[in-house]
Structure 1
Amino acid sequence: MKTYLSMPTRWLLSLLLLVGLTGCGEGFLEEEPRTFVSTEAVLNSPEGLEGAVVALYDFPTWMYHSTRYSYWFISGTDVARIGPLHEDRGTALYNTDLNPQHGASREYWNQSYQTLYRANAIIAAAPNVDFDGDEARRNRVIAEARFFRAYILFYLHQRYGNIPLVTEPSETIREKEQPADPADIYRVIVDDLRFAIDNLAWTYDDQPGRITKGAAMHLLAKVYLVLQNWQQAAQTAETLILQGPYELLDDPAEIFADNNENNKEAIWTIQFDPQADNYGHFLAVMFTPLYDRIQGVARTFEQGGRPWARMYPSAYLLSLFDKNDRRLKAWYKTHWVYDDPDEGLPPGRQVGDTVRTSDFNPPPDSMLYLHPACKKYWEYGATRDINQADSYKGIIRYRLAETYLIAAEAYMRLGDQAKALEYINPLRRRAGVPDLTELNEDILLEEHARELAFEQDRWFTLKRMGRLVQHVRQYNPDAAPNIKDCHVNMPIPQEFVDLTGFPQNDCYR
């Protein structure tokens, strides 16, 4: 099956991605120009604009190419704990490493604005290009670019709190910059997503990973939750559920199965192409303990493949699952077994026995060698061999189960318990656990953790509800001593502050 970012079109990534739309100031919004193709040549034809849109798809993939940035939307919550090998302790622990020079925070800001400038350039140029009367083609180009603009602005504002609003194709930053009014930011986001919904199709069958009407509608429903526009959130989520081509899969294990990431439940899956990408993503390995260092345990895909031991589920998260919850077995591994008799087994143990800490003498940090693991990103050989760290399995960014939770929350906020339960209980029935008979914010957050833990939404949901600091203090003992109320916003890169006089967020001044 062909992907939207596959050859022969993937070469067009270079046209805007490498063209040198740069800012000013050393280290800020700068790239080495690696192509002679001019911006004008890209933006003056339908084919060039379509290639420029393809370049925008590099943004949601770049952060997963590095282990350091893979944690950016996952760490620092109530459901995630980290091991001693974790590369970004600032994001995870809210310690002094989280400062105005913090690498992941700085890079995400820079990459976001670089991509934002490119999206703005496409949006500005497309109305002036001759599409030979094909307005649907023109509007599709604009709609994809506007989706990415909305996507970038939404996560920038949620992550940093104070951001400049950039809607023009400027190649430089202003000498003086101030935070934009959130109302203005969300006006752009909502307008962009509505345009995308009106001008994109539900599916592009030969192009998995391409932005669709459903992806734009799902993001808009999330935006309405932030705006506390409960009626619009409920209506948008419900329309997506009832009219879209998506459906909940019957078996939780099938959602994240190999070669199934573009399934009926997936609304948007980020694609990785081994022919075009130097690296895949590193989420497949980061949750797996160093089990193969234990005598009598072989490295196999059944046991978890290559291990990295960067992150693991919190005791709080695992405590939320009923023992019969099908999601626990499908998405988490809590036991490893002896399977390598040639190495020799501990006295009294045989192949198939569960590995226990008492069977071996681990170094002081035994959590490196045995800890529970999230299997949502595991990959069992579909795109990598047993010793390879990176995987090219697609990452499900948005899926219908989250849309159900959005609808449930929106109706709960509206005081309609019957409708709220109508949308949350299908997830529980699929999991094999009893229906809920009432829904409040605490119950909703618990179900959100069971269903969506490690799917890059937990931090944003806790912040939106005003529960981030409380939950980290209560359920994340590593980060609890450090987190402050002001850590609900990330640090603004110091280069940007120095260049523009932009105010630094609290906690980092």
Structure 2
Amino acid sequence: MKRVFTSIAKYIVFPMLLIVVNACDLLSPQPVDKQTDNLVLNEPGDVPQVEIGLYAAFRTIIPATVIAGDFTADMLLHNGTFSQYRELGNKQITSTNASVSTLWGAIYNTIYIANFILEKLPNVSGVSTTQRNKVMGAAHFLRGYAYFTALYTFGRVPLVLTTNIQTNLTIPRTSTDDILQQVLDDYTAALSELPKSPTNSSYAGEYAVRAAFARLHLFLGNWSQAEQYATQVIESGKYELEKDFANIVNKDQTGESILEVSYTLTDDPGTDGNIGLNNLFVGRREIIPSNEAVIALASSESGDRFQTIRFNAANLKGTDNGWSVAKYGT
């Protein structure tokens, strides 16, 4: 019997292995929530493309912040059918909220690309010192800004400082002090690397960092430091307030723009339900200014803040107050 069993076992081992392997494939599918390393940074020609990729990731943070921030501050009113905006408006936000997922994803996508640059760029030969510093500085600054946004939106978040997937899988939420220290460290590094005068305000420069320092210290209640950094920006002579507030609404990169997230007609995310501000505010009118926001704008000293909203009596119906956000175009 023993010999018979051995013979039978010899012939069934291979089929059993096939079953085990196939079962492993079924039970361990390829993950869909891991960032794949499809970025390339091996030679000087790759640097501008990676820099553009960093800014492209960063700019998604801004409209997502507008939606989440202005809704929860009662500046916006849900006027449509999308449940994600209704949840933001009534402060009953679920874990499946698409707007929240968009902001979270934008933050960590920016952080990932910044980490990639900071890991790879120092080892790429043939890159000029000026270009290397500019891109490294942007990576530090935008990573710091992303963590600043994350902290004051979500609270304690994972502090991810590498692109290593295995390391990132087990990072817990980090203390507020550690996140703040990382923001300060990134801003400090960026301050010594970024140029005083970037190509235009679509790119970060030294004074964008000083302005970010001022804002950070305002959040921390460090009034003297906030004043110090703000004064440095004001006294630089590089910026001046627009005399006509309408220019802030209708023109790009005005004289008072320190850092401005830019789009073109071909890549404006107008049809994106999560970040297409023009589509949401004007096209669908899914979101409208709240009555409180309208009253606050009407109470401005000169009344010029009304340039940011528009009224159309034809829209008056139901709970619709007839006002639309006009600040974000195509």
* Same topology, TM > 0.5: yes
> Which residue of the partner structure matches residue 124 of structure 2?
129
Change (3 A) 1:267 1:373: same
Structure 2: where are the runs of 5+ without partners?
A: 1-28
> Which residue of the partner structure matches residue 237 of structure 1?
230
CA distance in 2 between counterparts of 1:76 and 1:245 reads 34
- Measure how far apart 1:123 and its partner are: 0.8
Equivalent of residue 90 in structure 1, options 75, 87, 107: 87
Q: Is residue 2:243 matched to residue 1:247?
A: no
CA distance in 1 between counterparts of 2:119 and 2:315 reads 61
> Which residue of the partner structure matches residue 8 of structure 1?
none
CA distance in 1 between counterparts of 2:120 and 2:61 reads 28
Q: Do the aligned residues in 2 keep the contact of 1:82 with 1:312 (CA within 8 Å)?
A: yes
Equivalent of residue 325 in structure 2, options 352, 369, 374: 374
- Measure how far apart 1:124 and its partner are: 1.9
CA distance in 1 between counterparts of 2:189 and 2:90 reads 39
> Which residue of the partner structure matches residue 342 of structure 1?
none
> Which residue of the partner structure matches residue 287 of structure 2?
311
- Number of aligned positions between the proteins: 297
Amino acid at match of 2:33: F
- Measure how far apart 1:335 and its partner are: 4.9
Q: Pairwise CA RMSD of aligned residues? A: 3.0
- Measure how far apart 1:160 and its partner are: 0.9
Report the structure, 1 or 2, having the larger helix content.
Answer: 2
Change (3 A) 1:102 1:279: closer
TM-score, normalised to structure 2, is: 0.78
Q: Do the aligned residues in 2 keep the contact of 1:218 with 1:237 (CA within 8 Å)?
A: yes
Equivalent of residue 209 in structure 1, options 202, 208, 212: 202
Amino acid at match of 1:48: D
- Measure how far apart 1:227 and its partner are: 2.3
Greater RCO (CA < 8 Å, at least 6 residues apart): 1
3-state SS, counterpart of residue 273 of structure 1: coil
> Which residue of the partner structure matches residue 106 of structure 2?
111
Amino acid at match of 2:75: V
Amino acid at match of 1:371: G
Q: Deviation string for 1:420-460 (max 9, x for gaps)? A: xxxxxxxxxxxxxxxxxxxxxxxxxxxxxxxxxxxxxxxxx
> Which residue of the partner structure matches residue 221 of structure 2?
228
Equivalent of residue 45 in structure 2, options 47, 54, 58: 47
CA distance in 1 between counterparts of 2:240 and 2:266 reads 31
Amino acid at match of 1:125: K
Change (3 A) 1:171 1:235: same
3-state SS, counterpart of residue 267 of structure 1: coil
3-state SS, counterpart of residue 44 of structure 1: coil
CA distance in 2 between counterparts of 1:241 and 1:372 reads 34
Q: Do the aligned residues in 1 keep the contact of 2:160 with 2:168 (CA within 8 Å)?
A: no
CA distance in 1 between counterparts of 2:69 and 2:218 reads 19
CA distance in 1 between counterparts of 2:264 and 2:202 reads 11
Q: Deviation string for 1:4-60 (max 9, x for gaps)? A: xxxxxxxxxxxxxxxxxxxx98442346x8xxxx65xx3232332332121111123
Q: Deviation string for 1:139-177 (max 9, x for gaps)? A: 112101111111111111111102111112323454533
Amino acid at match of 1:45: E
Q: Do the aligned residues in 1 keep the contact of 2:74 with 2:89 (CA within 8 Å)?
A: no
Q: Do the aligned residues in 2 keep the contact of 1:165 with 1:180 (CA within 8 Å)?
A: yes
Q: State the identity as a percent.
A: 21
- Measure how far apart 1:275 and its partner are: 4.2
- Measure how far apart 1:279 and its partner are: 5.2
CA distance in 2 between counterparts of 1:25 and 1:72 reads 32
Q: Is residue 2:271 matched to residue 1:263?
A: no
Q: Do the aligned residues in 1 keep the contact of 2:315 with 2:322 (CA within 8 Å)?
A: no
Larger radius of gyration: 2
